[in-house]
Amino acid sequence: MTEKIVTRIRNPKVLVGVISGVLMILVNFEVISIDLSNQISDLVNAVLSIGISIGIFANPESHVKDDQANYNQE
């Protein structure tokens, strides 16, 4: 039983869901204010946007090579 729980908690999707649920409970019980919740949400959006930008700029031509190879096969 505990092995299943540990395996599930190691899954990033489950971990994000659990953290989101805990944060939602804390906001509903007013342990975390709504303003702080909005600031945390803005911070997460900024970090994700930066991560996406770094991913795009790190290898911008990765999809272009695949498209050219498919075009040449047709």
Q: What is the pLDDT of residue 46?
A: 93
pLDDT band, very low/low/confident/very high, at 72 (cuts 50, 70, 90): low
pTM tops 0.75 = no
- The torsion region of residue 59 among left (phi > 0), alpha (psi -120 to 50) and beta comes to beta
Q: 32 φ, ψ to 5°?
A: -110, 130
What is the average per-residue pLDDT within 42-46? 91
Helix or strand (DSSP H, E) at 44: helix 34-58
C-alpha to C-alpha distance for 40 and 34, rounded to whole angstroms: 10
What is the tens place of the pLDDT at every residue in 11-36?
888 888 888 899 889 888 988 888 88
The residues near 32 (Cβ < 8 Å, ≥ 6 apart) are 23, 26, 40
Average pLDDT in the 46-66 region?
Answer: 75
